[in-house]
Structure 1
């Protein structure tokens, strides 16, 4: 019989940080379970390889939402990481913590210990920022944070144009001034992706108290008298039971964590009953409160020197590949976007509710799954709403753990969200037609100058809008009737079970969500160690 102190379900961003932190104590015996494969691969390590991983069949869940009436009945593709490192092995590597007020609002919602001043030390502890330490930045941590390997002239001019529109410059989007425009930093070290697995787990694989297993589908969490006692796992066609002497920790992400809870008998009574699942505890909030950043992309035909499209397609891409192999520099060493501007959709908003991102390249997703860099020079500018009012749900398709969950985000069903997004699109146009970036522009390609009215903009968003892949809040933390975990991340109504990942966010943060997911892993590990649940007596 296999027995571990802690069983971590999911080797994504939070799970990898947990595994590292809990095994810092040699007394803890930890099992890290991942349904996907190993992720030590060239295109995972290479930042520009993100395009090749977008539809990857092995390292990506390749989810689709349910049809959405507000999006003309469209199903939306939702990529999620499946493998060691989770989504941090396939994402755009952008490192944005969020606004100070995001976390202060978490605390105000009945979650003591989660204000900005509480979480800042955990952010700093996990980081090694190449810019050096200051009041906001950390050094000496496992995760390398770096500036873009190549900063294009068009990126500098985008910042200047935004500044001329009244958006303040900021030298550090994770520092004292979040609401402004400046270069983003990325989880890249010496030209290679720093996934959570690479940064936190790979360096400690030789620890005798850490076991990492891939290809393991957790079918359900096991309970005895409302205490989590272990997991039932399917691997290589066989089922086995693995026991936890201290705790089971669910870190499967905002889509899979609620799915595993419901398959295990914890969730809304009606949902469990519908699928014939024996109820362990009626917890109405499981899978509810789903939030995501709705994202719209614009593209601009540009002068050749403003874009690196040419350098990463055709024969040129082989030269760039040789450059990367020789130096780990150049355009293949870049994350997705270079610059971000955090802006308000209207003056009376408390703090920025839109993120505008700029990249000096453009690409097209084909229905075949191929991601192709555009043949003409171009610049891409996107916007997403940071604090959506819309919420959705994750529910079960069936009681079969191998079936994908049902994902219903309800995008574009809130009028305020729609108005905010329209404001973002119009602000993009103002920036791109302001000097000096205006001199780089030849024409507006997407959506095109013919799209002007509110109705036309709404049609454009409904037909082309996408996910920023920042799903959160499906097992959210709090004290209201739909809260799933308390401020110690313990699942309400049961014992020895916690959720530690982005699903616990009371609301989504203002920016890309990988950095706060890593912080949640670090803070969660600290709380687990502080609480030190005594070992259960297990008889073989």
Structure 2
């Protein structure tokens, strides 16, 4: 029988961190399984290549939501990474931890050990910040964190305009002042993307106690009674069982982890029965509490000097390509956004519930998968609803693991979310109408000045709003009846099984979710090592 101490399902942002940290112990054997392929490609390594990965056939699950009645029955596109590094290999590389209150709220919901002061050491341990270390930043960690190699003047003017409107200037959005405006840092090292795989696994791939396998499609978790003993996997068209002597860890992400649990018999009883799946444990919260940041995009015509659209289109894009190949700098070495402003939608909010992102360029996604830089000088700003009042679901389409789950995010179903995002549009307009950035703006393109009233803005949100691609919460951590895992990320009702990824978040964090997902895995690895269950001798074949 093929046996490892720990089997990690999913080589994404969390799984790669776990594989590195668990295999630090030379006395254990670790297996990291990934359904997708390797991701060592030029456009993965190149930060600007994210546009080419948005609809990639091999490196992206290319999911769609169910039709959304409140958004004109649109089926929203949800890209998710499929390959070594997961979504960290295709995302915008934005490094935002979240607000300290996010984590204190997790703790106060009955999850001791998850307050801000508890998780800060994990954040610091994972990163090497090029600014150097301080009370908030870490150095000598695997993940390189850097400032933009080009700080565009339009971005600096956007910050100055926001400050004039009373938004505090933050020199470090991951430091003491999160609610403010400032330049974003990214997980980019010397002009190249730092995916979780690149940072954590690639440097130790040769360890004799670490096995990494791609093209491994996990079908279900295998049990002996109420103990997880391994997984059933399909590789090269063949199915077989691989045994876990200590634990199985599911790190397939907020969209796929609940699917794997339900396919294995852990989930809402009615959902399992509907698909003829034998119930192992009744866990009504599996696939519930789906949270994401609803996002809406705006763009503005700008002076030529205020936008770098012309630098990355036409013949000049070839010059930028050569510059990047020779120096690792220039516009191809930038992450998705330059600036973030964390603001309140209304004064009575305890802390910022909106994130406004600014970039001195603009682009358009087309339905056929093509992403093109806009042909005229433009700048863009987006608003994210950070603490959604509404939530959605992940359910099964069938008992066939190859069938994508059904996703219903329920965006704009709660009036507080509608009110907040409308407020965010008005925040963007106020900032871009203020000097010094106002002199760079020639006119509003999207949604356009004709979209003025709350009802007109709402119609724009329904027609053009999107997901920020930050799903979380579908196997939430907690003490209540809907909690799927406990504060040590152990699946309730099952021995030797954990979920470690963004799905365990009780509430999605205030900002991009890649950094907190990696932190969860750092802390999860600590817990697994500390809890260190004794190795179990695999039973004979035939366990469920």
Q: Which runs of 4+ in 1 moved over 6 A?
A: none
Q: Please give the secondary structure, in 2, of the residue aligned with 1:203.
A: helix
Q: Alpha-carbon deviations, 1:497-529, whole Å to 9, x = none?
A: 000000000100000000000000100000000
Is 1:239 aligned to 2:239, yes or no?
Answer: yes
| TM-score, normalised by the number of residues in structure 2 | 0.99
- Give, in whole Å, the separation in 2 of the partners of 1:343 and 1:263: 41
The 3-state SS of whatever aligns with 2:296 is: strand
Q: Which residue of 2 aligns with 1:71?
A: 71
For 2:173, the equivalent position in structure 1 comes to 173
- CA distance in structure 2 between the partners assigned to 1:434 and 1:51 by the alignment: 30
The CA deviation at 1:495 is: 0.5
Over residues 383-409 of structure 1, what are the superposed CA-to-partner deviations in whole Å (9 max), with x where a residue is unaligned?
Answer: 011000110000000000000000000
Shift in Å at residue 28 of structure 1?
1.1
**C-alpha distance in 1, partners of 2:58/2:456?**
38
1:455, CA displacement in angstroms? Answer: 1.2
Alignment of 1:286 with 2:286, yes or no, is: yes
Q: How does 1:25-174 map to 2 (within 5 A)?
A: 25-174=25-174
Q: 2:269, 2:30 → 1: CA distance?
A: 32
State the 1:133 CA deviation: 0.3
* Matched residue, 2:184: 184
Partners of 2:448 and 2:440 in 1: how far apart? 16
Aligned partners of 2:271 and 2:330: how far apart in 1? 51
Distance 2:411 2:276 in 1: 30
How big is each residue's C-alpha offset from its partner over 1:231-252, in whole Å with a ceiling of 9 and x where there is no partner? 0001111101100000000000
Deviations 1:310-360 (A, max 9, x none): 011111111100000000100000000000000000000000000000000
Judged with a 3 Å threshold, the aligned counterparts in structure 2 of structure 1 residues 431 and 278 are, in CA distance, closer, same or farther, namely: same
The residue number in structure 1 matching 2:426 is 426
Distance 1:490 1:46 in 2: 37
Q: Does structure 1 conserve the Cα–Cα contact (< 8 Å) formed by 2:35 and 2:216?
A: yes
Structure 1 residues without counterparts, runs of 5 or longer? none
After superposition, the C-alpha distances for 1:457-499 in whole angstroms (9 at most, x for unaligned) are 0110000000101100000000001000000000001100000
TM-score (norm 1): 1.00
Partners of 1:131 and 1:19 lie apart in 2 by 27
Q: Please give the secondary structure, in 2, of the residue aligned with 1:253.
A: coil
State the distance in 1 between where 2:465 and 2:148 align.
27
2:487 maps to what in 1? 487
Gaps of 5+ in 2: none
Aligned match of 2:313: 313
Residues 1:348 and 2:348 aligned together: yes
> 1:282 & 1:313 partners in 2: Cα distance?
54
| Per-residue Cα deviation, 1:206-244 (whole angstroms, up to 9, x for no partner) | 000000000011000000111000000011111011000
Q: The residue matched to 2:379 in structure 1 has which SS?
A: strand
Query: What aligned pairs does 1:107-506 form with structure 2 within 5 A after superposition?
Result: 107-506=107-506
Kindly state the Cα deviation for residue 456 of structure 1 after the two structures are TM-superposed: 0.7
The alpha-carbon deviation at position 539 of structure 1 amounts to 5.1
Question: Aligned equivalents of 1:330 and 1:533: distance in 2?
Answer: 50
Instruction: Tell me the C-alpha RMSD between the 2 structures.
Output: 0.5
Describe the shift of the 1:281–1:539 C-alpha distance in structure 2 as closer, same or farther (beyond 3 A).
closer
Q: 2:259–2:394: 8 Å Cα contact kept in structure 1?
A: yes
Q: CA deviation at 1:538?
A: 2.1
Give distance in 1, aligned partners of 2:472 and 2:427. 27
Aligned-partner Cα distance in 1 for 2:424–2:214: 42
Is 2:229–2:538's contact at 8 Å kept on the other side of the alignment? no
- Number of residue-to-residue matches in the alignment: 540
Distance in 2 of aligned mates of 1:430 and 1:284: 44
